[in-house]
Amino acid sequence: MSTPINSPVKPLKNCGKCGLCLAACPVYKVLKEEQASPRARLQLIKAFENNTLESSALLKEIISKCLMCGSCVVACPSGINHYEQFMDMREKMVKDLGETPAIRSLIYLLARESRIRRGAGLARLGQRWVQKLTPTWLANKYCLGNIPLKQFPQLNLLPFRKTVATTIPPQGIKKGSLVYFTGCATNYMYADTGISMVGILTHLGYEVIIPQDQTCCGIPLMFHGAVDEAVKNMILNITALGAHECDGILVDCTTCGAALKDEYPALIKKRMANDPQKSLEYWEKLASAAQKIADKTFDILSFIVAHKQDLVFDKTTPNLGNIAYHAPCHSRNNFNTLPLVQSLLRELPFINYTPTLDEAECCGGGGTFFYEHPEIAKKMMDKKIHHVKAVKANIWLTDCPVCRINLAGNIDKTSETEAIQVLHPVTLIHDALKKGPLEKEPLEKS
């Protein structure tokens, strides 16, 4: 039986070295080397904990060559939670050996909302100048990891949260209130996702509350061993989200959802045991607030499936053609949404949904994996593009912003056969809804 990714950590000695996790691991499938397998990483961690192996650049490299996708956790019959083991080991490696300047800069940015905002503003200016001044052949040469810089999405003109009211009324009779955790990607890059989220939730009769003081969920910080910074972000988010009475907390990204649902309660438990500076009472109060948030957190696609009978589509919506879906790892492994999304896509009257052969395979985005290990990420993407072309899709849906960057960034937009639009499923659904009088026209964005 598979282990849910949010199950408690079982001791490493439980690993029976059966190898079932190898077939599930996207990195192992590309490299086919034992040292790139989840099983090998666990044995190295065991040796490190038993003091028979020291920190080294090679050990850090092996531990980091992992997408933190959680597929090994789901495949393991012995109940090992590799995810938590790898997270702890990353923290130890960074403490012993430090991080690269690029990753240190990313940690610095994500640790404060004001820095993310300034960084996004500067990056947007840079994007405009690069596009204006750089000839195409040159712009295509410069890549961030496996993605040409030119193919990165346009950053939002203004942060999404600054363009909407904190409380948005429902269309029609109010059914309840929902808090929307937008995440950084929607706030700074994919405003189309935010607009569609609000459009769908208000269409369903919910008041939408968007706390302005929310910040990065902290998962990218945790993945890079910056746990102190992640704890600060977690406390800010628990305070921001917990300040509103609501019937649910909605995420458009299941990685943010995994932070709210699984990581915050786990992180607090760890901190509680090792923090001499704060009282036990402080941590217990925080743990109770985090648990309330975890219990109320839903990913948007499961929420839509649960409310699909209340969606009213515009009957004049034309057929949008062949649609493929890429299932992000956290959607599959933390929220188990793949069967729900497949059934939803099959039922939408205005699309022809055809699953690709590797719909449930990782794309290699993995937070910063595409930047740190571009050659592995490229091999994964090449395979995915081959399969999406095989079903002749004109729209490729995915509900993770990093996957969206990676899929869209690797599509050759100059080639007719590869001119596939990559969207969050909410945009497709929102565009087809019958619009109420309060709604604006959907935002155009590729």
Figure out which of the listed residues 2, 10, 20, 367 binds ligand SF4, where binding follows CB under 6 A: 20
Q: Among residues 66 and 422, whose Cβ is nearest to ligand SF4?
A: 66
CB of residue 33 to ligand SF4, shortest distance in Å: 12
Choosing from 11, 16, 169, 176, the residue that interacts with ligand SF4 (CB under 6 A) is: 16
Strand partners, 147: 144
Smallest Cα–Cα separation from 371: which of 65, 69, 124? 65
Q: Which stretch, 9-17, 116-124, 222-230, 406-414, contacts ligand SF4 (CB under 6 A)?
A: 9-17
The answer to whether residue 306 forms part of the interface with ligand SF4 (CB under 6 A) is: no
Residue nearer to ligand SF4 on the CB measure, 71 or 302: 71
d(CA 108, CA 69): 24
Residues 84/85/86/89 CA torsion (nearest 10 deg): 120
Per-residue exposure over 159-186, b if at least 16 CB sit within 10 Å of its own CB, e if not: bbbeebeeebebbeeeeebbbbbbbbbb
- Please, which of residues 258-297 interact with ligand SF4 by CB under 6 A? none
Query: What letter does residue 230 receive in the DSSP assignment?
Result: H
Binding mask 427-446 for ligand SF4 (x = CB under 6 A): --------------------
Q: Binding residues for ligand SF4, how many (CB under 6 A)? A: 26
Told to check if 363 binds ligand SF4 by CB under 6 A, we report: no
Which of 21, 300 has the CB closer to ligand SF4?
Answer: 21
Taking residue 117's Cβ as centre, other Cβ atoms within 10 Å add up to: 18
Beta-strand relationship, 421-423 and 395-398: parallel
One residue of 62, 69, 184, 226 binding ligand SF4 per CB under 6 A: 69
Minimum separation from the CB atom of position 74 to ligand SF4 (A): 9
Comparison of 194 and 366: residue with beta carbon closer to ligand SF4? 366
- Containing 143, the helix (H) or strand (E) segment is strand 143-144
Contact (CB, 8 A) for 42 and 72: no
Identify which of residues 42 and 219 has a Cβ nearer to ligand SF4 in the complex: 42
Q: Which is nearer to ligand SF4, 22 or 110 (CB)?
A: 22
Residue 14 makes CB contacts below 8 A (sequence gap 6+) with: 78, 79, 80
In the complex with ligand SF4, which residue's Cβ is closer, 403 or 426?
403
Instruction: State the Cα–Cα distance between residues 258 and 260, nearest whole angstrom.
Output: 6
380 lies in the binding site for ligand SF4 (CB under 6 A): no
Q: What is the three-class DSSP state of 89? A: helix
Is residue 255 within the footprint of ligand SF4 (CB under 6 A)? no
Query: Per CB under 6 A, does 76 bind ligand SF4?
Result: yes
CB of 362 to ligand SF4, least distance (A): 7
Taking the complex as a whole, the smallest distance from the CB of residue 26 to ligand SF4 amounts, in Å, to 6
68 binds ligand SF4 (CB under 6 A): yes
DSSP tally for the chain: helices H, then strands E: 23, 11
The span from the CA of 394 to the CA of 428, in Å, is: 12
For helices 101-110 and 113-133, what crossing angle results, to 10°? Answer: 120
Query: Per CB under 6 A, does 38 bind ligand SF4?
Result: yes
Choose among 270, 378, 401: nearest CA to 326.
Answer: 401
Q: How far is the CB of 3 from ligand SF4 (least distance, A)?
A: 9
Stretch that binds ligand SF4, among 17-25, 93-101, 280-288, 435-443 (CB under 6 A): 17-25
Q: Is 66 in the site for ligand SF4 (CB under 6 A)?
A: yes
56-63: long-range contacts at Cβ-Cβ below 8 A with a sequence spacing of 24 or more? 56/97, 57/97, 59/93, 60/93, 60/97, 62/35, 62/36, 63/89, 63/90, 63/93
Task: Report the interface residues with ligand SF4, using CB under 6 A.
Answer: 15-21, 24-27, 38-39, 42, 66-72, 75-76, 78, 80, 82
